[in-house]
Amino acid sequence: MPLIPQIREEDASPEIASIYADIKIVSGLSVVNLIWRHFAVYPGVLPWAWNAASPIVGSTAMESATRWTIETLRLPPIEPIEPEAQRRAHLTPSDVRNIRAVVETYLRGNLINLIALTALKMR
């Protein structure tokens, strides 16, 4: 499977870095999700896509939609990693907290992207 090109935050031009900063502020995330970094590769695509999507991302409707999705989506439970398995994997309590934080960040970011990009596609 070919690697999809991206512009990483540390490699961004000033114009792209400015949009990345706005993405973080508006989304409330500490990272710029991969889809936006992929869009940045193609001239004019990131500014267009972010300009179109940012009002949705920063809206109360987005907050309601993400909350509704989390609260109403019913999936089979996933068993947690037992403390003994965590010890065998050499995971410290700090590691477990960090893993949970990563999952929470991606949960929020991916939900936002799913909704915003669906709206963008509908345009």
pTM for this predicted structure: 0.82
Q: What is the pLDDT of residue 1?
A: 57
Q: Around Cβ 20, how many Cβ atoms within 10 Å?
A: 21
Amino acid at 109: G
If we measure between CA atoms, which residue out of 86, 25, 73, 16 comes closest to residue 45? Answer: 16
pLDDT tens string, the chain, 123 residues long: the values are 568 999 999 999 999 999 999 999 999 999 999 999 999 999 999 999 999 999 999 899 999 999 999 899 898 988 888 888 888 999 999 999 999 999 999 888 999 999 999 988 887
CB 3 within 8 A of CB 36: no
Contact 108, 28 (CB under 8 A): yes
